[in-house]
Amino acid sequence: MEFTDVLFNRRSIRSFSDKPVDEKLLNDILTAAIESPSSSNTQPYKMAVATGATNKALGKALLDKYYTANKINSMPLPMKVVSAVTSGALPDGDFKPILGKYPGEFQERRVKTGHGLYEVLGIERHDRESRDEQMARNFTFFNAPVAIFFFIHPGMTHTALIDLGIFMQSLMLIATDKGLGTCAQGALGMWKSPIKKHFSLPKEYKLVCGMALGYPDDHKVNDYRPPKVSLDDLLITAKN
Ligand X SMILES: Cc1cc2nc3c(=O)[nH]c(=O)nc-3n(C[C@H](O)[C@H](O)[C@H](O)COP(=O)(O)O)c2cc1C
Nearer to ligand X among residue 146 and residue 209 (C-beta):
209
Whole-number minimum distance, CB 13 to ligand X, in Å?
8
Site for ligand X in 52-81 (CB under 6 A): none
Whole-number minimum distance, CB 23 to ligand X, in Å?
26
CA dist., res. 165 & res. 138, Å (int)? 19
Chosen residue from 113, 130, 143, 193 binding ligand X by CB under 6 A: 113
Bridge partner list, 216: 16
Residues 6+ apart with CB under 8 A from 202: 46, 151
Nearer to ligand X among residue 78 and residue 100 (C-beta):
100
Per-residue contact string for residues 177-196; x = within reach of ligand X by CB under 6 A: ------xxxxx---------
CA dist., res. 188 & res. 150, Å (int)? 9
Bridge partner list, 151: 46, 207
Whole-number minimum distance, CB 157 to ligand X, in Å?
18
Site for ligand X in 134-153 (CB under 6 A): 138
Contact flag: residue 176 with ligand X (CB under 6 A): no
Give the interface with ligand X as residue ranges (CB under 6 A). Answer: 11-12, 14, 113, 138, 183-187, 209, 226
